[in-house]
Structure 1
Amino acid sequence: MGVLFGVLYAYAMFQGGFVSWFLFYAMLPFILYMICIIFYPLSRWKITRSMSKSILQSGDSVTAYLTIRRKIPFPLYYCIIEEYVPESLERKGSRSETYQYMSNPSALSNKQKVKSVAFPWFKRKFEFRYEFSQVPRGEHHFHTIRVRTGDLLGFVKKQAYFTVPSNILVYPHRRKVQISKRVNSFEEGAAPSFSPAKRDTTVVTGVREYMPGDKFSWIDWKTTAKKNAVMTKEFEQQKSSDILLVLDAEESDEEKRLAFEGCVELSASLIHAYKGMSSQLAFLSLGEEPRYFPFTKDQDQQVFMNQHLARIEPDGKVPFADAILRQQQSMPNNLIVMLVTRKITAHLKSSVIRLKQNNARVVLFLIDSHERITGSEEQMLRELTISGIVVNVLTESQMTQQQFEVNT
């Protein structure tokens, strides 16, 4: 710019005449404008970001709104806004249809670049709007925004970086769960089920006087005749089963990333499904730092479980089979233990069989691509079934359905 000014001025001084001075004065406003841009305080702009939603589910879309305010209405021909997208957003959020790519999760890569152009001129305030689609599960942190501008001829370019923190929390997608067998028994758990429909009418524990609401079929006719009063049978009250849901968060290859998302989604769906049932459910994730959520019906506990499932990553250094054995020592007996994993090994098979010895029932959920399940793994699953373990294998055909269909 200085060279251009010097050349034009020297040309006008030495050449003289109307044309040379006309060129000098015609370019003088542009040169002065370039000088003003150099000293213009771009870094003093105030930028705020707001998100249309701060909490959403995997696969949803979210819209970001950027508002830029400046005190000096200096005329700017153009302004380019670039959002530095977090790496955690560089994949598509999992929904039922995405599990067709379980054998090739790289097909769901979703690198996004956010650039917007505006022509603010004298405006003190202007806004940008852009959308992130198919947001993946996790906690995503937005930080940096780059602003670029310049003169009309492109001789001067200026940029500034702004730190504008924003967070969104994306919960795993939840589906309905169709459970083929209700997990109830009469010797397990401690919480009674008060629903009359769940009363067992085969185990009689005594008789009592008739009360309004008793069924006609419950009347004990022999005792009624002896005492000359209507007596009904007393049945053993059904109790709910205590369920421990265990999620495998052991570190694994990126090839099993989508299978892990399926494990998290199934866990979240099971937690939500059992929330309205009489059974009490505790949750345990075995990753780098095991997290345990005890048996409770407290609503806040449900929120903490979902928040943990939103943030969890497969980072466990201890093999899942060893982690189960470590936790087994502190587990109460006669639980129904549900294990959600994405691989089966001989070590895990022996750990699950050992777990079955102290618990009422063990249910194993294996989520993986059909192509990756080998013949030896299928043999181990059959041996687990023979040992009394309830085995559910969920591959692409099951994971792409609108609801989970599981056996317990």
Structure 2
Amino acid sequence: MNRPFSKRYGERPRFPAALWVLVSCVVGCLFFLLFQGGKLASMLFIIVTLLSVYLLLGNWSGVKRTQGVRRLTNVGQEANLEAGQCLQIDIGVQIPGFWPIPYMMIKDQLIRQNGDAGETAVFEGSLVPDWRRRGELHYSTPPLRRGLYRFGETECMTEDIFGFFQHKGRLELQQQVTVYPQTVQIREWSQFHQMLKGMQHHSTTTRAHRETTQINGVREYIYGDRLSRIHWNATAKTGTWKSKEFERESLPKTIILLDRTSRSYRDAAEFELAVSVAASLFKYASGRDLALGLLSIGKEATYMEPKQSQNHHKQIMNHLVGVEADGYHQLNQILKDRSRQLPAGCFFVLISPQRGVAMLQALHYLKNLQMNPCHIWIHGATTDAFKLQPAEPASIQENWIKQIRAQGFMGYEVTQLTELPNLLGGAKRYA
């Protein structure tokens, strides 16, 4: 084990070719002065010597000890943004020393960590330091894809006025950026709330479902609260009006299955559409206090039980940041393996581009488990010629949503994310 160590320290340092050229010029001028003499040889030797000293002293220009800071101007302290947005970046540098520097080149790296092999984007720019040897570089990235990003090494480089030598320095400005899936604002899911109303629930909005007699805490008094709701002990202690907060009746739980089977999707854009639909539904559930869970089966299996907390919603969104279409299990096999974990009587949403016999079998299997299945069919713009298995009849290839609606299942066809609010709100026909 000591051989590579001794060999590394036994190697001679390599000098750049420009240094040998410079040494050759100085030695040639010296010989010219010694053997030829005269004013021409003296002036030539003095000029070459001064230029050589200037070029060599550039090695101590301070670039190797450059200090810097990176600022993300269009995001908050948590460095979070949605897919499709650009990142505005400012890099400020401070160069120690006093040797003049005409300009500085900065090379920054942004690494996407999703998948087995990360993708690296390199951004380059130049700046001219001011008289206090400070400078700032501003650049923006192209629209970013969903994923977890980190910044790599930042390289600083400058040259002398002749371009003979390059002087480089490196900055370790470690920083992470989270790009969440793109979402849309869903105002109302009318068919979902109609289903709740048909299941003996008291209103079509989740915020209006009836309260129990179990006290959950204390809240601020709201004008119009009944006298029986006032919490007299808390009011006496704080000196301000307080009201009792009661627990609400639990609504049916909802499970969202995100199909991550690699062979189901035509391209990455279609899978991104599926992830964005799932993220939009979770965002809607978070704003309506709905208990939603996630079933995501790829190389690694993830199941999150339906809950109604903001922390639960954040965990699901963080999971959706890094998901990939890397699964190989069939839907029927996934449902059979997880059937014991699924709550009875729940509302089950399948987000998948699959259709045909296999999907019908999955929907009927969920119905036999006393669940209410719903298929959100991801049908991207590039999937018009979606290939089905040869055993499937041609009739299944047309009007898929109408077919499953005719059998009593809820279904929606989503080709673009922007049309999801109209589909769920009932403004656009889904069958």
TM-score (norm 1): 0.74
Deviations 1:135-161 (A, max 9, x none): 221111111222222211111123344
Specify the SS of the correspondent of 1:316. Answer: coil
Structure 1 residues 189 and 336: CA distance shift in structure 2, 3 A? farther
Q: Aligned partner of 1:32: which letter?
A: V
Gaps of 5+ in 2: 1-21, 212-247, 388-393
CA distance in 2, matches of 1:88, 1:192: 42
Q: Is 1:344 matched with 2:355?
A: yes
- Report the counterpart of residue 371 of structure 1 in structure 2: 384
- Report the counterpart of residue 90 of structure 2 in structure 1: 65
Deviations 1:41-96 (A, max 9, x none): 6433223322222111112222112222333232222221111232569xxxxxxx
CA distance in 2, matches of 1:138, 1:314: 13
- Report the counterpart of residue 100 of structure 1 in structure 2: none
Structure 1 residues 188 and 314: CA distance shift in structure 2, 3 A? farther
Specify the SS of the correspondent of 2:156. Answer: strand
The within-5 A match list for 1:179-328 is 179-181=189-191, 182=193, 183-185=195-197, 187=199, 240-252=251-263, 255-277=266-288, 279-328=290-339
Deviations 1:189-236 (A, max 9, x none): 99998866999xxxxxxxxxxxxxxxxxxxxxxxxxxxxxxxxxxxxx
Q: Is 1:405 matched with 2:423?
A: yes
TM-superposed CA distance for 1:366, in Å, is 1.5
TM-superposed CA distance for 1:40, in Å, is 5.1
The CA RMSD measured in Å over matched residues stands at 3.5
TM-superposed CA distance for 1:261, in Å, is 1.0
CA distance in 1, matches of 2:197, 2:43: 98
Q: In the alignment, is the contact (CA less than 8 A) between 1:55 and 1:171 conserved in 2? A: yes
Structure 1 residues 49 and 4: CA distance shift in structure 2, 3 A? same
Gaps of 5+ in 1: 90-109, 200-236
- Report the counterpart of residue 223 of structure 2 in structure 1: none
TM-superposed CA distance for 1:367, in Å, is 1.1
Q: Is 1:49 matched with 2:31?
A: no
Q: Which moved more, 1:378-387 or 1:27-36?
A: 378-387
Q: Aligned partner of 1:49: which letter?
A: R
CA distance in 2, matches of 1:193, 1:81: 54
- Report the counterpart of residue 84 of structure 1 in structure 2: 109
TM-score (norm 2): 0.70
Q: In the alignment, is the contact (CA less than 8 A) between 2:298 and 2:328 conserved in 1? A: yes
TM-superposed CA distance for 1:360, in Å, is 3.6
Q: Is 1:146 matched with 2:155?
A: yes
Q: Aligned partner of 2:311: which letter?
A: D
TM-superposed CA distance for 1:9, in Å, is 2.5
Structure 1 residues 330 and 382: CA distance shift in structure 2, 3 A? same
CA distance in 2, matches of 1:290, 1:341: 17
- Report the counterpart of residue 24 of structure 1 in structure 2: 45
Q: Is 1:2 matched with 2:40?
A: no
Q: In the alignment, is the contact (CA less than 8 A) between 1:190 and 1:240 conserved in 2? A: no
Specify the SS of the correspondent of 1:141. Answer: strand
Structure 1 residues 166 and 404: CA distance shift in structure 2, 3 A? farther
CA distance in 2, matches of 1:82, 1:67: 13
CA distance in 2, matches of 1:253, 1:165: 37
Q: Aligned partner of 2:148: which letter?
A: E
Structure 1 residues 118 and 393: CA distance shift in structure 2, 3 A? same
Structure 1 residues 264 and 194: CA distance shift in structure 2, 3 A? closer
TM-superposed CA distance for 1:253, in Å, is 8.1
CA distance in 1, matches of 2:422, 2:148: 25
Q: In the alignment, is the contact (CA less than 8 A) between 1:61 and 1:134 conserved in 2? A: yes
Q: In the alignment, is the contact (CA less than 8 A) between 2:63 and 2:157 conserved in 1? A: no
CA distance in 2, matches of 1:159, 1:382: 65
Please, which of 406, 413, 422 is the counterpart of residue 393 of structure 1? 413
RCO comparison, higher one (Cα < 8 Å, 6+): 1
CA distance in 2, matches of 1:276, 1:40: 57
CA distance in 2, matches of 1:114, 1:49: 14
Q: Aligned partner of 1:266: which letter?
A: V
CA distance in 2, matches of 1:120, 1:242: 60
Please, which of 173, 178, 185 is the counterpart of residue 176 of structure 1? 185
Specify the SS of the correspondent of 2:384. Answer: helix
CA distance in 1, matches of 2:407, 2:197: 20
Alignment identity in percent? Answer: 17
Structure 1 residues 33 and 188: CA distance shift in structure 2, 3 A? farther
CA distance in 2, matches of 1:273, 1:41: 54
Q: Which moved more, 1:292-301 or 1:12-21?
A: 12-21
Structure 1 residues 330 and 190: CA distance shift in structure 2, 3 A? farther
- Report the counterpart of residue 168 of structure 2 in structure 1: 159
TM-superposed CA distance for 1:288, in Å, is 2.3
